[in-house]
Amino acid sequence: MCGITGFVSQKFNIEHLYKMTRSIKHRGPDTEGYFYDESSSIGLGHRRLSILDLSEHANQPMTSHCERYVIVFNGEVYNYKEIAKNIERTWRTTSDTEIILEAFVEYGEDFVHHLNGMFAIAILDKTENKLYLFRDRFGIKPLLYFFDGKTFAFASELKALLSLNLPKILNKKAIKDYLFLEYIPQEQTVFNHYFKLKPGHYLILKKGRETEIKQYYDIIDKLKPNTSISEEEAIAKLKEKLAQSIDLRKISDVPIGSFLSGGTDSSLICSIFQEINSVPIETFNIGFDITQYDESGFAKRVSEVLKTNHHYQLVNDAEAKKHIEFIVDYYDEPFAVPSVIPTSILSKKTKEHVTVAFSGDGGDELFMGYGYYNWHTRIEKLKKLGGKSAVKLASILLSTLNNKNKRAARVMDIPDFENNWMHIWSQEQYMFTEKEITQLFNEPYKHTSTFQNWQKIDALPIHPFEKISLFDIQNYLSNDLLHKIDIASMSSGLEVRVPMLDHNFVEFAINLPMNLKIKDGEQKYLLKKLLSSYLPKELVYRQKWGFPAPIGYWLKTDLSYLIDDYLNKEIVEQIGLFNFNYIEKLVHEFKSGSDFHYKRLWALIYFNMWYNRWYISKIE
C-alpha cells in the first residue's frame, strides 16, 4: 500500500515531484522513490508502505526487464503468484509490483483483467511517450488527476495535486451534489479540471496532450438472469467464496488483523478468518463513552466466542472531539460523513499493533442492509393504497408530530416520484433536499450527476431492490465508504483490505436470488444464516448500529462553538456561495429542538472548514 504521484508538463521539475510526493508521505512512511526525465518533462513519484518483499529491491518506481516501461503502484494484487506462473521471467523480487509490470509487458492493456486486488497503477511507456493509469474494479484505491488540455498530473490524493499550485476554480455543481449526497459523486471533484478516474476504468495519455478513457469492467455485464440456487447450496457457496477471498488476502510480510465492530459483516469475516487461522487473530474495536453510540460490548462478546486476541479502547468525548480539528487535513475535499471520526481513531489505534487490517465494507451493498429499502417499501405501499396523494398526506401528517416523525415526513416529501430512490437516500442520510439546496444557493438545483448511471441500471429486468443494490455498488461504495476508509487508514499508514469486494465474490453475490438477501423482512438474510453457524442468535439477529459519531449531541454541547465560528454571517458572506438567511433559520430551528438538522449543519460547517484550509490557505 502506497501513495503515487506524477506529471507530464514542462511547467514542473524534480522539485515539484518531491513536493507533491512528500505531501502524501503518510501513505508510505517507509521510503520514497522518483523517476524524472527532463527531456520529456515526465515525473513519477512513490511513497512506500512496505507489505510484500520488504527489501529495497521492491522499491518504486520500478523499471521493466526490457527497460521500456516504468511503474508506480498503490494497492495489492493478491493473485500475483498465479500470474507469475504464466510469464517466463527470472524474477528479481518477491513483490507483486514486478509481476504486475511484467504482466503489462506480456499482455498490454488487457493485463488488468488478470488482476485480483485493489490498485491504482501508473505505467509509463518511454518509447511511445504514453502514460497509462488504471483503477481497480470497485474503486477501493483512489486515483485523481488534473488536466486542462495542456497540463497533466495525477496522484493518490487531491492534496498532492493542490501542492502544484494549479488553478483552483470551485465546482459549484459538485458542491451542490455534496450537500445532497454527503459526498462528491462520479468523476467530479470540488474543483474544475480536477477529476477522479472512475472505478473499472483506465486512462491513456498520449504525448502529454491527448487523453482517452476506457472502461474495462462493468458489474452489469456480470449479471446472469434467472439464476437458481437452493438456500443450503447458497450458504455453502457463500462460505466457500468468502473463505477463498480471505485466504487470498492473508498474504503479508507484516502483521495482519481485522476490524471487529460486532456487526454482521465484520463478525462474519472474523469468524472465517479465525477458522482458517492456526493461532488467534488480532481484532480491533473502539467505543464511545456515550452509551447510545457504543457498540463495543457486542464486539467484545463476538471476540470471546471466536477466541480472538481482541484490542479494545474506550474513546472519551474529549479525544473524539479533538480529532475533528485535524480530519480536515486528511479529507482534502468536502465530505460530510461523521463516522470518519471513529474510523480515523480506530485506524490509528490498530496501526499500533498491525500494518494490515480486514474490513467488512461491501456487505450492506451486496446483501441489501440499508434502511432506505424499508422506506422504499413503505412509500410503494402508500402509493398502491391511495397514489401519490396518500404519500403527500402522510408526509403532512407526520410533520405535525415529534422530531422522529418530522424526520420521516422529510423522507416522504418526495418531489419526483419517478426518481424517489435518490430523494429517499439523501434524506436517510439527513442531507439537504433539492428544494433546500435551491434555497441555500438562491438558484435552481436538480440532482443529475448520477442519473445516466441510474438509467442504465433502471432499464434492467430485475427487482427494484436489486437496482438500488447495483447503484450503491457503483456509486455510494466507491465515492463514500471506500473513500472514507482509504483516507482514514492511510493517514496512519495502515493498509485495509476488503474481502467482500473480491470481484469473484461480488459476482456471486449479485446473482443470488432476492429472497436470499431479504426474507420475511430480515435484511442480509444469507449472511446472517451463515454467521449463525459461528455465533449465538442474539449476537446475529439484532438492530443494525452502523459506526456513527455523536455529532448532533456535540453540536448541542461542547462543539456548539463550531456553529458560531463557521456559520456566522461574516464567514458565510466571505465565501459567497450560500444564502445566510437560510442558514440562520436552520441554526435557529436546530437550537429550538429540531435535532434532525444536525447533519445539514455539519455538512455546512465541514465545507467552511475545508474552504478555509484548502481553498484560502496556501497548500503546504
Residue for grid cell 500494518: 355
Is position 359 annotated in a ligand binding site? Answer: yes
φ, ψ (nearest 5 deg) of residue 221:
-65, -15
Alpha helices in 536-618 (DSSP H): 537-540, 551-556, 560-566, 569-575, 580-591, 598-610
Is position 156 annotated in a ligand binding site? Answer: no
Q: Which residues of 585-607 are buried (b: 16+ CB within 10 A; e: fewer)?
A: ebbeebeeeebbbbbbbbbbbbb
DSSP notation for 221-246 = GG--TT----HHHHHHHHHHHHHHHH
The DSSP letter of residue 54 is -
What H or E segment, with its residue span, contains residue 510?
helix 503-510
- Count of beta carbons in the 10 Å neighbourhood of residue 107: 15
Is position 96 annotated in a ligand binding site? Answer: yes
Is position 379 annotated in a ligand binding site? Answer: no
Distance of CA 56 to the CA centre of its chain: 31
List Cβ neighbours of 148 (8 Å cut-off, separation of 6 or more): 166, 167, 193
In the numeric block, which cell numbers belong to residue 54?
520488504
- Count of beta carbons in the 10 Å neighbourhood of residue 613: 15
Could you give the residue numbers annotated as active site? 2
Longest distance between any two alpha carbons in the chain, whole Å: 74
* Alpha-carbon gap, residue 394 to 232, rounded angstroms: 41
Alpha helices in 90-225 (DSSP H): 96-107, 158-162, 172-181
In the numeric block, which cell numbers belong to residue 62?
520500478
Residues of each annotated binding site for L-glutamine: 96
Residue numbers in the known binding site for ATP are: 286, 359-360
Q: Which residues are annotated as a binding site?
A: 96, 286, 359-360
